[in-house]
Structure 1
Amino acid sequence: MEFAGCSRGSSGRALALAICLLALISLSCAARLSASSRQKLDVHKHLNRLNKPAVKSIKSPDGDIIDCVHISQQPAFDHPYLKDHKIQMRPTYHPEGLFAENKVAESTKERVNTQLWHVNGRCPEDTIPVRRTKEDDILRASSMKHYGRKKQRTIPKSADPDLANESGHQHAIAYVNGDKYYGAKATINVWEPKIQQPNEFSLSQLWVLGGSFGEDLNSIEAGWQVSPDLYGDNNTRLFTYWTSDAYQATGCYNLLCSGFIQINNEIAMGASISPVSGVRGSQYDISILVWKDPKEGHWWMQFGNDYVLGYWPSYLFSYLADSASMVEWGGEVVNSEPDGQHTSTQMGSGRFPEEGFGKASYFRNIQVVDSSNNLKAPKGLGTFTEQPNCYDVRTGSNGDWGHYFYYGGPGKNSNCP
C-alpha cells in the first residue's frame, strides 16, 4: 500500500501512517468539537426562549433561582393561539361548595405548606414567579425536544389494564368515568418518596381527562412530584402538566412550554414544597382544584384556599373544550426495571395503604365539579393498580374527610421482585 506523497521506504511508510492517523484523530476531534459547539449553541438558544427577562430574581435555599417575570412576558404567550390573548385576571365563577371543608381546614391550618423560595423574598405585583431553567436541566434530558415533556403513552390507563404497564409506568389510583365532569378537587398528603434511579420519578396528582386513550387524549394534571431527571434533585415539588394529543407533541410540565397562563405572583410551578410529612410525625397537605369556568370556558387551577394560579385556555384542547369524561386521583411512578428487577422507587410515603394515617399517604375530600358548577362527592368510584404487591390503593369515606383513599407502596419487596 502506498500513501500519496510519502516515501516508499519502511520508515517513510511508518511516518506516513503516523501522519495519517494524526490527521484522522484531528478531524475526529474537530468534528466532536463542532458537534459540541453546536449543541452548546442550541442549548443557549433554548434557554433564552425559556428564561424570560426578570424584573427581580430570588435565590431559593435549595439552589433554585426564581425569576419574577412581568405577567405579559410569560412563556404562555409564545403560543401562536395566544399572541393576541387578553389575560383574564380572575375566574368568572368558582364552583359552589368550595369551602365546605372549612372545619377540616381550620383544624389543620398550622400544617399548610409553603414554597421554599419564600424564605428569601416575594415577587412584586404584575409579575409571576418562574423557576429558571439551567443548562444542566436541559443536558439531563434525552434531547432538547423531550425536555419538560412526558414520554409518549405514559397515560394512567385505568380503562385499559392490558396496556397499563407500557414504558414502566405504574399507578395506584381512584377514578370515575361515564359522566361529564367540569373539574376535580383533592387535598393531597405530601411526602418525599425515595427514587432509586435518576430516570425514574414518583408523583401524586389529579388528572382531568377527555377523549380516548389513543392519540387524541386531552389531559390536565396537577399535584406534587419527585423527579431527579427533570429538576436535578430529590425535592418534592408542585407541578402541572397538560397535553391535547396523548403526550405526543403538545404540552409540558409547568411553564416549560407555552400554554398555561399564570396570574398569581406567589406560587411558582416546579418549586419545592416545604415541609413534607414524616412517618409517625406531622402530616402536611396541599389542596388542588381544577375547574372549567362556565362563562369563559377556560380551565382554572387553584392551590389551597387562597391562590388562584391561572388557567389553560379552552382552545388548547379538543375534547376538554367541552368537558372531561374521566377524573383520576392517585400516585404514579416510573419503574425502569433494570435486569428485569423491580426498582425500590417509592410511591406516596413508601408504605402500603393498610398502615393508615401517619404512615401511608392519602388523598382526602376528593370531589368532582358537575354541570351546575357544584362540587360533589364522586359517584361510582373505582380503583386501579397494575401490581398491588408493589403499590396499592384502598378507599373509604367519613364525615371529616369525605371520600378519601390511602395509596402507595415501597416498590421492590419480598412480594414484588
Structure 2
Amino acid sequence: MGREFVLRKPRNGIKCRRFDRCNTMRQTETELFSEETRERSRGRRRRINGSFFLDMIIFFRPCFSNFLFLSLFILSSSSSSSVLSTETENLSPRNQTLRPLEELNKLKAINQHLRKINKPSVKTIHSSDGDIIDCVLSHQQPAFDHPRLRGQKPLDPPERPSGHNTRGLRPKSFQLWRMEGETCPEGTVPIRRTKQEDILRANSVSAFGKKLRHFRRDTSSNGHEHAVGYVSGEKYFGAKASINVWAPQVQNQYEFSLSQIWIISGSFGNDLNTIEAGWQVSPELYGDNYPRFFTYWTNDAYQATGCYNLLCSGFVQTNSQIAIGAAISPSSSFKGGQFDITLLIWKDPKHGNWWLEFGSGILVGYWPSFLFTHLREHASMVQYGGEVVNSSPFGAHTSTQMGSGHFAEDGFTKASYFRNIQVVDWDNNLVPSPNLRVLADHPNCYDIQGGSNKAWGNYFYYGGPGKNPKCP
C-alpha cells in the first residue's frame, strides 16, 4: 500500500488510542497483545505489504472487533444492518462480541461463493432498481457447473403441449432492467448479479438462496401459510395458469409473500420433489420490496438440494431476454389496472426434462430430469396459489400480505387471482384442471374462493391482509 504506520507506546494504560472504545477492553483481550506487538509499539516501524486484514489483526488485535465492525458496515448495505432474527442473532454485533477470525472466515466464504455463482459477462446492464444484470455466455451459466452438465450446451426447444396457444401478444418488456431498451446479445443469458450484501442478509452462505421451511415459533406451525387451489390423485405432466401480479407489503426482512405454481411428487417428508415458478416479494433474498419473477426446485423437501433462480447448478436458462430474479413491472393496483403473467411448466415427452414458458411462446429454460427422483416420471399433485412466511412468535400473527392484501370476496381489481388453470395430461395435452379444490390453512388471515366461467375457465380469488381482528 506504500504507507508506514508507527505504533506508539500506550499511555495511561489505554491501548490502541485511535479507537474511542478501547478503555472498555476485557482483560482477556489485553493479554492477547503479544510481546512482539509491544516491542513494535516502542518505536519500530513496519511497512504494510500483504493482506490488509491480516496486518490489522497484528497491529490492532485488542481493538479488532471495532475495526471489523466498521469494515463490515462499509461493505454492506443498510439493509444488512437490520435487527437479525432469532436464527441469526449469533451474527449480530449488538448481541455479542465479534470473533475476528470467525468473521474473516465468513467473509472469505462469501467471496468464494460470489466467485462461484457470478460468471464472467460479455455485457453488463445497470437497472434503475439497483440490479446489475450480467450477460453470460449460455454454456457458462451456473447450471453447467453440475457434473452431469459440465461441458454441455442448452438443449433445443421441445414439443409444446397440444392445445397451447403461442400466438398471443408477447410483451416487449415486463422487467425493470429492460425498460430503457437494454438487452443481452444472442447466445447469452441475463443473470442478476449477486452482491456481498445479498449473502450477508442470509443466515449463512449455505442458507443463501434456499427456501427455509422452519422457524422458531411457539406453535405447531412451521411459519409457512398457504391459500391454494390443487389437484391430486392422477399423473400430471405439467400445469399452466395466468397469475395476477401485485406488490404486497412484507412485515420484515425475514418473511416473504409469493404466488406460484407447484409441480409436486413424493411424500411431504424428506423425499418431496417440487418445481416452482411465479412471482415473489422477498426482502431477505433481494434487498427490496419489488415483485420478482422466480423459479425454485428441490428433491429432498427443501433440506440440502435446490435453490431459487440460478443461485446453484440446476435450472438451465435458454432465453436472452428474461432475467430470473429481476423485478416485474408493471404490477396491479387496487381498483385500477390489472396485470398478470402466464406460466406453463411441462415435461418434455422426448427427453423428460421439465420446461418453463413465459407468456405466449417465450421459453425461459428447463430443469433437467436427473435433478429429481419422483419427478423423473411424473407429478402426483399440482398446486396454484399464495404462500407467506409468518415469523411472529408467541401466537402473534404477521401483517405480511398475501396477493393484493385483500380477501377473496372482494373480487376483481381488489383481490388477487389465478385464471385459466390447466394441467398437462399423459398424452401431452393441456386440459382444464379436473376437480380443482381450494384450501386456506389460516382462512381468517388469508382465504380463497374458486369458480369457473367461459372467459376465465377454472379460476380463484385468494389472499388477505394477515393480522386483523379475526386473525390473532
TM-score, normalization: structure 2?
0.78
SS of equivalent residue, structure 2 residue 177: helix
SS of equivalent residue, structure 1 residue 34: helix
The one-letter amino acid of 1:202's match is: S
Q: 1:221 deviation in Å?
A: 0.2
Query: Which residue number corresponds to residue 178 of structure 1?
Result: 233
**Which of 36-45 and 391-400 deviates more?**
36-45
CA displacement 1:92-150 (0-9 Å, x = unmatched)? x10011119x7xx67xx88x960100024100000000000000000000000000001
1:37 to 93, 97, 104: 104
Corresponding position: 1:270 with 2:325: yes
Query: Which residue number corresponds to residue 135 of structure 2?
Result: 68
Distance 1:24 1:353 in 2: 63
Query: Which residue number corresponds to residue 84 of structure 2?
Result: none
Corresponding position: 1:22 with 2:30: yes
Q: 1:18 deviation in Å?
A: 9.3
Distance 1:21 1:173 in 2: 55
Query: Which residue number corresponds to residue 162 of structure 2?
Result: 96
1:146 to 197, 202, 207: 207
8 Å contact kept, 2:449–2:462:
yes
**Which of 134-143 and 41-50 deviates more?**
41-50
Distance 1:37 1:217 in 2: 36
Distance 2:268 2:367 in 1: 21
Distance 2:264 2:365 in 1: 19
CA displacement 1:261-310 (0-9 Å, x = unmatched)? 10100000000000100001100010000000001111000011131011
The one-letter amino acid of 1:265's match is: S
Structure 2 residue ranges without an equivalent (≥5): 1-12, 14-24, 34-60, 66-97
Distance 1:308 1:365 in 2: 19
**Which of 38-47 and 282-291 deviates more?**
38-47
The count of residues paired between Structure 1 and Structure 2 equals: 386
Query: Which residue number corresponds to residue 158 of structure 1?
Result: none
CA displacement 1:324-360 (0-9 Å, x = unmatched)? 0000000000011244310110000000000000000
**Which of 331-340 and 245-254 deviates more?**
331-340
8 Å contact kept, 2:245–2:341:
yes
The one-letter amino acid of 1:129's match is: P
8 Å contact kept, 1:153–1:246:
no
Q: 1:21 deviation in Å?
A: 6.0
Q: 1:90 deviation in Å?
A: 1.2
Q: 1:151 deviation in Å?
A: 1.2
SS of equivalent residue, structure 1 residue 151: coil
Q: 1:28 deviation in Å?
A: 8.1
Q: What does residue range 281-360 of structure 1 map to in structure 2 within 5 Å?
A: 281-360=336-415
SS of equivalent residue, structure 2 residue 101: helix
Distance 1:94 1:19 in 2: 71
8 Å contact kept, 1:385–1:392:
yes
The one-letter amino acid of 1:23's match is: E
Query: Which residue number corresponds to residue 244 of structure 1?
Result: 299
Query: Which residue number corresponds to residue 177 of structure 2?
Result: 117
Same amino acid, percent of matched pairs: 56
SS of equivalent residue, structure 2 residue 261: strand
8 Å contact kept, 2:214–2:223:
no
Q: 1:34 deviation in Å?
A: 2.6
Task: Report which structure shows greater RCO (CA 8 Å, sep ≥6).
Answer: 1
CA displacement 1:243-264 (0-9 Å, x = unmatched)? 0111111100000000111010
Structure 1 pair 174–192 and aligned structure 2 pair: CA distance change class (3 A)? same
8 Å contact kept, 1:57–1:68:
yes
The one-letter amino acid of 1:38's match is: N
Cα RMSD after superposing both structures: 2.2
SS of equivalent residue, structure 2 residue 276: strand
SS of equivalent residue, structure 2 residue 111: helix
The one-letter amino acid of 1:137's match is: D
Q: What does residue range 223-234 of structure 1 map to in structure 2 within 5 Å?
A: 223-234=278-289
Distance 1:21 1:317 in 2: 51
Q: What does residue range 162-173 of structure 1 map to in structure 2 within 5 Å?
A: 166-173=221-228
Query: Which residue number corresponds to residue 394 of structure 1?
Result: 449
Structure 1 pair 306–20 and aligned structure 2 pair: CA distance change class (3 A)? closer
Structure 1 pair 239–20 and aligned structure 2 pair: CA distance change class (3 A)? closer
Structure 1 residue ranges without an equivalent (≥5): 1-10, 12-16, 155-163
TM-score, normalization: structure 1?
0.88
SS of equivalent residue, structure 1 residue 340: coil
Structure 1 pair 256–363 and aligned structure 2 pair: CA distance change class (3 A)? same
8 Å contact kept, 1:342–1:411:
yes
Q: 1:79 deviation in Å?
A: 1.1
SS of equivalent residue, structure 1 residue 396: strand
The one-letter amino acid of 1:34's match is: L
Distance 1:217 1:152 in 2: 12
Structure 1 pair 21–382 and aligned structure 2 pair: CA distance change class (3 A)? closer
SS of equivalent residue, structure 1 residue 87: coil
Distance 2:374 2:102 in 1: 42
Distance 1:85 1:69 in 2: 15
8 Å contact kept, 1:113–1:286:
no
The one-letter amino acid of 1:62's match is: D
Q: 1:19 deviation in Å?
A: 7.6
Distance 2:235 2:316 in 1: 25
Distance 1:124 1:226 in 2: 28
